[in-house]
Structure 1
């Protein structure tokens, strides 16, 4: 009798999963993938679907926008931003095809392109943290820091030293970190910051998580804003893995970051302010929507820049649309460096179409991975891309963590988002687009330098890989919706 009841419950739960997939409007490939997971892993598959598979975007991320307070605040952010900065926005005077991307981004996530910015590419940890510490030491009004991984060590100790000096000088300090990525950040460290008068908050802390609604939705953004004048974003987290070879098993991580000055910093600040308000659930001192935190900026350079923000609370997958737009509009080349390439149907088709159309499409992907399942999930797409003429390079020098794209000597994207479903649908992400020829050529040159540390895959050789590898790839591909 008990077995019969359990079996009936399992059948009903499976039917529920199927109905949810149909109602949510999931793509056929995604529907079939989840059905395979449910069938191959009875009971566990259903649990995995409830945690990882439910379309939170359709339901606005566990009803975030149904909460009146948050909905009202998001509306205020939009209104404040529009009132203060819309008149500065322009469409970049690049080729006509690249006029489409700025308009796309402005519609799908509201952020407009701004001229007169200075943008500097920061390659690897030492250069990035030298620039960050220099900016922090010059702070006069406020420091806003947001990271997925904020891990105690040499870098955080140095930051705390700066925090102490700046707190004495009356500088406001706010630290926002993710509940999973920074789960080992100690109370000792945050209490120390609190004692200085600084504020800190955890984005969806583990203790408050609901496994079927919030566990899988992480804030993967990396943002620093100093005085509203200088900002940083990119792939680099605050962890000693970027400066010490003994900080982890994969050696020193190779990554890219971007330093921004000019009007675009306020767009980055708007992302932080929204996340801070959500995480803290309070409006301290009348809220952060003040001119003090969004100062008017004088021209700093000749770069047009635009922020792309996306998350499970978004109406559209802005990051996916950004990548799709840049790939499909490329005329000469598109070079992508990314640590997790599990593209899904749309981006895979974009890459194949571009390559088959004669565009020089190249990917640099790490040879090693911090996840065995992800490694085989990434490799499961190699043959389809190679057949279309996409050139794939495996980076062999330590672990590659960059998330960059450069196309046609005209536009670059540097940010936090990977080429996978997690970044497209589940994580809160942020990228910076810069429409500038000199920066595009600079990032292109770094790409070519990285190729020197790579092994290029050849289709005929890859097709001869062991059957065991093909089986691992096939299994990983089934589980790609939850990677």
Structure 2
């Protein structure tokens, strides 16, 4: 009798497990399909929940659902600070009316696109200085921080309490004690393991205010853990500002665990663009703690810049709560409208289909397309678990190489170390420097910022740096791809399917 009861219980359990599994598969399939993500992301999530039963459900709740679009009240900079930016807006209108030549027509395209997609104001009077290495960049940053008189606003994805972090902290603490207002924004995920409690305590004790942007520990109340604030910006006294690809970490000067050298690019500004960057910081600050930073002292009259050194600059900002993915559309437009040449540097190359098709089309149309990305980490770190977070995107990128090469693109893998810069030069007349990688996550899920520089000299400098970096690269050819084993190709193709999650 007991054997019969046990048999019935086993059958009941099997039936219950069958029904539960069926409901799980059908339910998760409907939820993911109805979310209307891009096809590649949809497929990646379906495979995740199928092959990781129930664990996949938690992962999807944590990282897949677009909670940000559902919950946050998005504040646009131009709505918050219209009165402060009015003089710049008026200058922009006059500048656009004067556009006439072919080159002017070419730059009018991205100007208009950014106006329509992210309400980005074109600033005309700016002094710009490019930095191509972390050591020079951070030395200049330290000098400018030490010269601050009114306020310092800094926003970084990763901020480590290492040697560089301690040096910057000491400067900030000293300035705070002098009466300078210091505010910092850290990304919740990027700084989760990188900053000690003692470091944070020393900031608070000095009167420095800081906010954790999208704190992952508050996931169950905010649901924002899948979104990263990947921006790296600095505003000093509303006069001097920086945009860069570098995080606040010593490895961007001396190299890190997986790469012995890091190559990155940043730009220093003086002029009107500093006010625009202040609106970006103030918006992120408001969305972190609901405090307005709209005091007039945060928007002083810009420093005068002579006409012969003035550079028109426009900010491209995007995030998961944007009406449009402005940086993605900007990149697409720049590629398809380029007439002669394109130089792109990005640590990762995992484009969506539209960007991949744009690059192919440009190359097939006669435009010289040059792509440079970082190579895999040092072989010595092959068996270190953390290195796979860097290797996986590098492997996934290889699945795009054949179609790019067949179209006529040139591809370079940077072997000296970690190529972390995100730069672009188009036709020798305009360039971009910023934080946005050439991958799906950066286009759609992360808060990013790129500075568009409408200046031939700066475009030429970025192109020249690209050619200089070629000495530390190996060019990929179709012949190289033929030597890749089937197992490696399979590995790369599997990672490509999951690339929206990388």
Question: TM exceeds 0.5?
Answer: yes
Match of 1:297 among 295, 298, 302: 302
Match of 1:86 among 89, 92, 101: 89
Using the TM superposition, give the Cα deviation of residue 160 of structure 1 relative to its aligned residue in structure 2, in angstroms.
2.0
Q: List per-residue Cα deviations over 1:93-142 (Å, max 9, x = no partner).
A: 43413211111111111111111111111111111101101110110000
1 CA distance for matches of 2:57 and 2:27?
A: 9
Match of 1:388 among 407, 410, 434: 407
Using the TM superposition, give the Cα deviation of residue 62 of structure 1 relative to its aligned residue in structure 2, in angstroms.
4.1
Using the TM superposition, give the Cα deviation of residue 43 of structure 1 relative to its aligned residue in structure 2, in angstroms.
3.5
Change in Cα spacing, 1:467 to 1:386, as seen in structure 2 (3 Å) is same
Match of 1:326 among 328, 334, 338: 334
State the match for 2:46 in structure 1: 35
Match of 1:26 among 30, 37, 41: 37
Match of 1:51 among 57, 62, 87: 62
2 CA distance for matches of 1:279 and 1:199?
A: 12
Structure 2 regions of 5+ residues with no counterpart?
1-11, 378-386
Match of 1:268 among 265, 269, 277: 277
Q: Is the 8 A contact 2:68 2:223 kept in 1?
A: no
* 3-state SS in 1 of match to 2:484: coil
Q: List per-residue Cα deviations over 1:261-295 (Å, max 9, x = no partner).
A: 111111111111111111123x2xxx311221111
Q: Is the 8 A contact 1:221 1:416 kept in 2?
A: yes
State the match for 2:80 in structure 1: 77
Q: Is the 8 A contact 2:359 2:369 kept in 1?
A: yes
State the match for 2:370 in structure 1: 362
Q: Is the 8 A contact 2:64 2:226 kept in 1?
A: no
Q: Is the 8 A contact 1:37 1:478 kept in 2?
A: no
Structure 1 regions of 5+ residues with no counterpart?
none
Match of 1:344 among 352, 371, 382: 352
The size of the alignment, in residue pairs, is 470
1 CA distance for matches of 2:391 and 2:167?
A: 33
1 CA distance for matches of 2:32 and 2:455?
A: 42
Change in Cα spacing, 1:97 to 1:21, as seen in structure 2 (3 Å) is farther
TM-score calculated relative to the size of structure 1 = 0.92
1 CA distance for matches of 2:397 and 2:13?
A: 42
Using the TM superposition, give the Cα deviation of residue 21 of structure 1 relative to its aligned residue in structure 2, in angstroms.
4.1
Q: Is the 8 A contact 2:230 2:446 kept in 1?
A: yes
2 CA distance for matches of 1:236 and 1:84?
A: 32
1:214-225 paired onto structure 2 within 5 Å = 214-225=224-235
2 CA distance for matches of 1:436 and 1:205?
A: 38
Using the TM superposition, give the Cα deviation of residue 82 of structure 1 relative to its aligned residue in structure 2, in angstroms.
5.0
Q: Is the 8 A contact 1:60 1:314 kept in 2?
A: no
Using the TM superposition, give the Cα deviation of residue 462 of structure 1 relative to its aligned residue in structure 2, in angstroms.
1.1
Change in Cα spacing, 1:413 to 1:211, as seen in structure 2 (3 Å) is farther
State the match for 1:465 in structure 2: 484
Change in Cα spacing, 1:381 to 1:51, as seen in structure 2 (3 Å) is farther
Using the TM superposition, give the Cα deviation of residue 188 of structure 1 relative to its aligned residue in structure 2, in angstroms.
1.3
1 CA distance for matches of 2:190 and 2:37?
A: 28
Q: Is the 8 A contact 2:239 2:303 kept in 1?
A: no
State the match for 2:321 in structure 1: 313
Q: Is the 8 A contact 2:77 2:280 kept in 1?
A: no
2 CA distance for matches of 1:75 and 1:116?
A: 19
Change in Cα spacing, 1:108 to 1:380, as seen in structure 2 (3 Å) is same
2 CA distance for matches of 1:162 and 1:27?
A: 45
Using the TM superposition, give the Cα deviation of residue 469 of structure 1 relative to its aligned residue in structure 2, in angstroms.
1.2
Q: Is the 8 A contact 2:436 2:442 kept in 1?
A: yes
Match of 2:176 among 147, 167, 189: 167
Taking only aligned residues, the RMSD between alpha carbons, in angstroms, comes to 2.1
Using the TM superposition, give the Cα deviation of residue 175 of structure 1 relative to its aligned residue in structure 2, in angstroms.
1.1
1:12 is aligned to 2:23: yes
State the match for 1:404 in structure 2: 423
State the match for 2:380 in structure 1: none
Using the TM superposition, give the Cα deviation of residue 318 of structure 1 relative to its aligned residue in structure 2, in angstroms.
1.0
2 CA distance for matches of 1:74 and 1:3?
A: 57
1:251-262 paired onto structure 2 within 5 Å = 251-262=260-271
